[in-house]
Structure 1
Amino acid sequence: MSKYRTADEAVKIIKSGDRVFVHGVSATPVQLIEAMTRRHNELKKVEVVHLHTEGPAPYADPKYKDSFFVNALFVGANVRKAINEGRGDYVPVFLSEVPNLFRNKIMPLDVALIHVSPPDKHGYCSLGVSVDATVAAVQTAKYVVAQVNPNMPRTHGDGLIHIKQIDALIEVNDALPEQTAPEPDEAELRIGQFCAELIDDGATLQMGIGAIPNAVLKSLTGHKNLGIHTEMFSDGVIELVENGVITGKKKKIHPGKIVSGFVMGTRKTYDFIDDNPAVAMLDIAYINDTAVIRRNPKVTAINSAVEVDLTGQICADSIGTYQYSGVGGQMDFIRGASLSPGGKPIIALPSVTRKGISRIVPHLKQGAGVVTTRAHVHYVVTEYGIANLYGKNMGQRAEALVNIAHPDHREELSESLYDRFGK
């Protein structure tokens, strides 16, 4: 009996009170989401669980507040308003531990809505661009519904799902969402150059998408034998592979392979990973495990922040009490890099916001979340330089951070430093 259904038929399995996992990032199953939301009159208190998703999130609309509740494991722009207005909530959790929430029945799943490549001749579909925590969702959900798309790349690694594991399928032919990293401005390029100075030949890199990671990658053209073990990557990596900068030869685990949990970029990236044995898309519980990360040499992890206080506390997921994003994998890689032989954990951020407000501050905003503790921080980089906080006392840290703050704010920060530390 065929498992193929219409989208509306496929989501009829969802019942009031169910917990529904939604595949994320560029694999967001838009047609299944729309079909689920069309059932709003029949459903009450359906809990929708996901990491970052691309595209619309109609279930988060205020008019459906009695039907759906967003319980986000990472907060993206499409659900930010709902969560901060109380129509949803946020689960603070390390990305490495999200699969365990499903596998250990802390958050048992009733239904998983996923997005896969067409089955191959052996009956295997691929989770494609987003393996991360989705493989755990597929393994543990009572019912799995997939939209099957010829535009989804077939990737090697943990994301191969046999059609027997899928209860219902719908056929789609949708383009995957694409995201182009913005071109770095002058300050971001300087940050990229400072970060590149910290990266040794033979290092294993972790970084995300955005102007600063893009600036770092642009500054690495003279490096040799870099490797990639990261939760995600985008277009900027591909040019360095093609130019022989990224080879993975010095990696101790998965030598020669790019290891990642998900990708988010343009079609160039999706085509690059399609049936590419040099790319291993793996379970995020493995990729982000500090015990795994530390086994590679010279792991250099570059992550961002909303603000940094003068003792080195890192807020990266909120603006005061306003929930902006999530913990994600920052702490996984900051700690993993610090334990790696020759590793370097780096927090990189512009010295000021677009409105000119200092991002190096005497104290974090009231209600701000500390994603990375001051005990974990080593390097902080702005366009004004590099502050190495590791092994420094509180006063020394504050002095180092004042020195890389924007000049317009150094006097005020110095006064705070003196008031607190007498320096």
Structure 2
Amino acid sequence: MWGQATAEPLTLTRALVAQRAHFGRLNVFSGIDLSGTLRPEHADHFRFMSYCGAGGNRALAKAGLLDIFPTPYSLLLRDFARAGSRIDVVLVQVAQADEDGMYSLGLANDLLIAAIEQARVVIAEVNPDVPRTYGERRLRPDEIDALVPAAFAPLETPYSVPSPHEERIAEHVASLVDDGATLQVGLGGVAEATLKRLTDRKDLGIHSGIVGDALVDLAESGALTNARKGRDAGRSVAGILMGTKRLYAYADRNPDIVLRGTDETHGAEALRSIERFVAINSAIEVDLTGQANSEVANGDYLGAVGGAPDFLRAAHLSRRGVPVIALRSTAGERSRIVASLSGPASTARCDAGVIVTEHGIADLRGCSLTERMRRMIAIAEPEHREQLERQAHAAR
């Protein structure tokens, strides 16, 4: 296993791929793949495993080569170990050693914390362009079995320009965020556009699995103080940084942002203490009762169960919290508000909260099935509403 997304140690992963024939058969557990390092032809020596079909994993899944773990993010490596498996070797990207000779994990703590505790071998590449971040875990030199210099700059995820539809969705989502709220957001146009609309709020907080460049905008506007979170006062908490050099520069030696492992970012015990927790997640499709498919589209595995179940349930339980699933109402000519899901129910309807499209907001909390259907149809694309009405009536 290795750090995912921007935390991938490219020098090590590319060497592993190039030398794969020397190792025999390897099980490879990878997260979000931004680099395209792994390709279907590497199945000659690799068995691919992941929790998601994001990025380069999509080609592996389409080729039938990706073994998916449909587990909530908070339990991922715990369930992996419970099934009798473990991570033997971890490849990590670290910042240059600090004054104490310790190595920061840089862009991610995330799943790496649990993986390092399981592993018998830790191999690290030192990258001078990786920020030295405040994290849950630093590595002592004696915890690293091999240390190599990085040959590549860390990966970046450029700003995603929101479409007009995403801008309208973001406007609705932003209306649900009050002063003092603590936010969990994903990546993409809706997340970026939502955060940019919150610069006039006061005392916002961040507790999220992933953060991007929009966090810097929020901090520079003065809206992000983390003063009213209920825990980690004054500090933004995340598992992984997925942005550009702007975010990395902001996070470098900055005590106002701290990276943690999944027990802290996604764990129920940590999340239950956060007040006004607004969880903003996405889905591929949502049915008329509120259950959401965030994994499969057109038969292809391209999403994940991910952290949505953890965050949405926490937002339900939080005092004045708001559990949000935001999505565009259509994909091409097809409605993404559907009578029946075409894939798995990644989020159960009992965990459904507030569904948002460019056409409005459907708050399903406390609603009967009949009322849920009515509200969901109202935020569907107008040209699909009549058919959804007929399908809803047939289902009653």
Shorter-chain TM-score bucket reads: over 0.9
Pairing 1:86-165 to 2, within 5 Å after superposition: 86-101=64-79, 106-165=84-143
Which residue of 345, 359, 363 maps to 1:388? 363
Say whether residues 1:181 and 2:181 are aligned partners: no
CA distance in 2: counterparts of 1:371 and 1:320, whole angstroms: 16
Query: Where does residue 338 of structure 2 map in the other structure?
Result: 361
Pairing 1:15-414 to 2, within 5 Å after superposition: 21-58=1-38, 60-62=39-41, 64-101=42-79, 106-353=84-331, 355-365=332-342, 368-414=343-389
CA contact (8 A) 1:130 1:263 kept: yes
- Aligned in 2, Cα 1:128/1:105: closer, same or farther, shift over 3 Å? farther
User: How far has the Cα of 1:45 moved from its partner?
Assistant: 2.2
Q: Percent identity?
A: 34
Q: Secondary structure at the match of 1:41?
A: helix
User: How far has the Cα of 1:350 moved from its partner?
Assistant: 0.7
- Aligned in 2, Cα 1:102/1:370: closer, same or farther, shift over 3 Å? closer
4+ residue stretches of structure 1 with deviation over 6 A? none
CA contact (8 A) 1:101 1:108 kept: no
Q: Secondary structure at the match of 2:388?
A: helix
Amino acid at match of 2:392: L
CA distance in 2: counterparts of 1:253 and 1:268, whole angstroms: 27
Amino acid at match of 1:357: R
- Aligned in 2, Cα 1:264/1:122: closer, same or farther, shift over 3 Å? same
CA contact (8 A) 2:47 2:65 kept: yes
- Aligned in 2, Cα 1:101/1:274: closer, same or farther, shift over 3 Å? farther
Q: Secondary structure at the match of 1:22?
A: coil
CA distance in 1: counterparts of 2:124 and 2:111, whole angstroms: 16
Q: Which runs of 5+ in 2 are unaligned?
A: none
**Cα deviation per residue 1:320-350 (whole Å; 9 max; x = unaligned)?**
5421121111111001111111111000011
Q: Which runs of 5+ in 1 are unaligned?
A: 1-20
CA contact (8 A) 2:170 2:193 kept: yes
Amino acid at match of 2:369: M
CA contact (8 A) 1:44 1:66 kept: no
C-alpha RMSD of matched pairs (Å): 1.5
Amino acid at match of 1:119: A
CA contact (8 A) 1:398 1:417 kept: yes
Amino acid at match of 1:382: T
Q: Secondary structure at the match of 1:147?
A: strand
CA distance in 2: counterparts of 1:267 and 1:123, whole angstroms: 24
Which range moves more in the overlay, 252-261 or 99-108?
Answer: 99-108
User: How far has the Cα of 1:87 moved from its partner?
Assistant: 2.2
**Cα deviation per residue 1:256-309 (whole Å; 9 max; x = unaligned)?**
100000010110001111111111101112210122112111100000010011
CA distance in 2: counterparts of 1:178 and 1:110, whole angstroms: 28
User: How far has the Cα of 1:101 moved from its partner?
Assistant: 4.2
User: How far has the Cα of 1:50 moved from its partner?
Assistant: 2.0
CA distance in 2: counterparts of 1:221 and 1:286, whole angstroms: 26
CA contact (8 A) 1:294 1:341 kept: no
Instruction: Name which one, 1 or 2, has greater alpha-carbon Rg.
Output: 1
Pairing 1:7-18 to 2, within 5 Å after superposition: none
Q: Secondary structure at the match of 2:173?
A: helix
User: How far has the Cα of 1:245 moved from its partner?
Assistant: 0.6
User: How far has the Cα of 1:103 moved from its partner?
Assistant: 6.1
CA distance in 2: counterparts of 1:308 and 1:408, whole angstroms: 17
Which range moves more in the overlay, 205-214 or 219-228?
Answer: 219-228
Which range moves more in the overlay, 236-245 or 40-49?
Answer: 40-49
**Cα deviation per residue 1:19-66 (whole Å; 9 max; x = unaligned)?**
xx12111011111112111223223320001221320223x332x323
Q: Secondary structure at the match of 2:394?
A: helix
Q: Secondary structure at the match of 1:333?
A: helix
Amino acid at match of 2:341: L
CA distance in 1: counterparts of 2:340 and 2:86, whole angstroms: 38
Amino acid at match of 2:363: N
User: How far has the Cα of 1:102 moved from its partner?
Assistant: 6.1
Q: Secondary structure at the match of 1:77?
A: coil
